[in-house]
Amino acid sequence: MKVIIIAAGESKRLGEHTEKIPKAMLKIDNRRILDFQLEFFKKEKIDDIVIVTGKHHKIFNFKDVTYTKDENSEKHDVLGSLMCARENMNDDLVTTYSDIILDEKILKSIIDSKYDISIGIDLNWQEKYKGRTQHPREQADNVLLENEKILKIKKNITKYEKHQLIGEFIGMMKLSKEGCKKFVQIYEELEKTQNGSFHDAKTFDKAYLTDMLQELINRGIDVKPVFVQGKWMEIDTPQDLNKARSYFNEN
């Protein structure tokens, strides 16, 4: 199994915290944000790990990983940065954002998924937005589900039926070898043909992973939910950083 960690963003919302270092290198409980993920993958004997870097490429100093630099990170968003490492998308694969800290049991539930394409979803997501005025729940990557089938993925889904559920995409995806093949094939088709806006993105270059997932869903390709429980948090703002330091210091 392989892992691709997307760490090319500039993290401007964290202000002075990330002027000189990427947020993946900020410390939580005496460990860097990315240490949480890397330590777990090591425990699971997963050592084929690629980190996609951007502007702060030279600052990353994790050992026993492969680095791929997104030379156009200022023009890309998450999807474009991920696809800079597409040559590694040829086997069972986990992709993850670099700015999330989570329990080992959540990571394991993603790794253990047997579907071709699956994503981690938290159904108790709203609890994590209490007091996050700098990162309100309207900014969550929501997932609309019906009978455990994903219908839609985008920010701030507010209209849904009583029998439907709303969750949050936690930023982790699992692809089988066949899932990788489908994902890359459709991306490369779009790369040649897509003009103008792309789902919620103004351009294809600025697309998020969620835009690509919606494209797969619209094409009738199953994107399966993996429902997760436990501690996890995405860090986007100074308030998030302080909350994470408190949250993951609790014993």
Q: At how many degrees (to 10) do helices 209-218 and 177-193 cross?
A: 100
Burial zone of 95 (CB within 10 Å; 0-12 exposed, 13-18 middle, 19+ buried): buried
Tens-place pLDDT, residues 196-223: 999 999 999 999 999 999 999 999 999 9
Confidence tier at 107 by pLDDT (50, 70, 90): very high
pLDDT of residue 251: 44
Are 163 and 170 a contacting pair, CB within 8 Å? Answer: no
Q: Is 63 exposed, middle or buried (0-12, 13-18, 19+ CB in 10 A)?
A: exposed
Provide the angle, in degrees to the nearest 10, between the axes of the packed helices 104-111 and 33-43.
Answer: 50
Q: Give per-residue pLDDT as tens, 127-185.
A: 888 888 988 999 999 999 999 999 999 999 999 999 999 999 999 999 999 999 999 99
Could you please state the CATH topology (level 3) that the domain comprising 2-119+170-196+222-247 is classified under: Spore Coat Polysaccharide Biosynthesis Protein SpsA; Chain A (3.90.550)
3-state secondary structure labels for all residues of 19-33 = CCCCHHHCEECCEEH
pLDDT value of residue 250: 53
Looking at the whole model, is its pTM more than 0.85?
yes
Calpha distance 210→189 (Å, rounded): 17
- The H or E element spanning position 238 is helix 238-247
188 or 14, greater pLDDT: 188
Hey, where are the domains in the chain?
2-119+170-196+222-247
Report the relative pairing of strands 232-234 and 117-122 from DSSP bridges.
Answer: unpaired
3-state secondary structure of 102: strand
